[in-house]
């Protein structure tokens, strides 16, 4: 129970790495706030965690919206009393296409979610953590920041930032 009574917010907590982290943090005694786009998937995961004896809640958030990120944080404080850790796992890969054909909207979306979204979450969390003089931020990055991935221009660019 390494995280007994600690409050952990996980963006992108509905799926993949975020979901695995949510389940594991709950097993270690944390109160987990799953923050993601799909309410249905989030509610299902909360149920799964609660059935295993863990504590979790879901909040819908779009990390590309700064006000939404602030609301996620405020709601977590209200519902769970604290925030000790934020895991930033919300992310999108984007399409796999040649750079000369890569659609601008797809490029913007990858940057909005993976760069700006992460930045918003860090900034809001940091304000709170600086005030209380404690807190942990876990950002999920990719090997794509070190080696190229053919056809994934936006994803590789954001991982080098």
Which residues are designated catalytic? 155
- 64-69's contacts with Cβ under 8 Å and 24+ in sequence apart are 64/112, 64/113, 64/116, 64/117, 64/120, 66/120, 66/124, 69/117, 69/120, 69/121, 69/124
**DSSP bridge pairs for 58:** 34
How far, rounded to the nearest angstrom, does the alpha carbon of residue 127 sit from its chain's CA centroid? 17
**Chain contacts with ligand NAD (rule: CB under 6 A):** 11-12, 14-18, 36-37, 61-64, 89-92, 113-114, 117, 140, 142
Which CB atom, from 100 or from 107, has the smaller least distance to ligand NAD?
A: 107
5/47 with CB nearer ligand NAD: 47
Name the one residue in this structure whose structure tokens are 């987990």. Answer: 32
Task: Closer to ligand NAD by CB, 49 or 113: give it.
Answer: 113
CB of 5 to ligand NAD, least distance (A): 26
Q: What are the backbone angles phi and psi of residue 63, rounded to the nearest 5°?
A: -65, -10
Closest distance to ligand NAD from the beta carbon of 38 (Å): 6
Shortest spacing between CB 120 and ligand NAD, in angstroms: 10
């Amino acid at each position: 129970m390494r995280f007994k009574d600690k409050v952990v917010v996980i963006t992108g907590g509905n799926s993949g790495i975020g979901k695995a982290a949510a389940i594991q943090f709950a097993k270690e005694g944390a109160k987990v706030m799953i923050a993601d786009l799909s309410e249905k998937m989030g509610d299902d995961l909360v149920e799964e965690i609660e059935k295993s004896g863990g504590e979790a809640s879901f909040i819908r958030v779009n990390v590309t919206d700064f006000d939404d990120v602030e609301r996620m944080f405020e709601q977590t404080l209200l519902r769970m009393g604290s925030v000790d850790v934020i895991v930033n796992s919300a992310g999108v890969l984007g399409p796999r296409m040649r750079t000369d054909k890569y659609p601008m909207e797809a490029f913007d979306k990858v940057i909005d979610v993976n760069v700006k979204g992460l930045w918003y979450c860090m900034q809001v969390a940091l304000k709170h953590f600086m005030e209380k003089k404690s807190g942990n931020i876990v950002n999920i990055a990719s090997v794509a920041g070190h080696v190229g991935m053919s056809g994934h221009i936006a994803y590789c660019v954001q991982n080098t930032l």
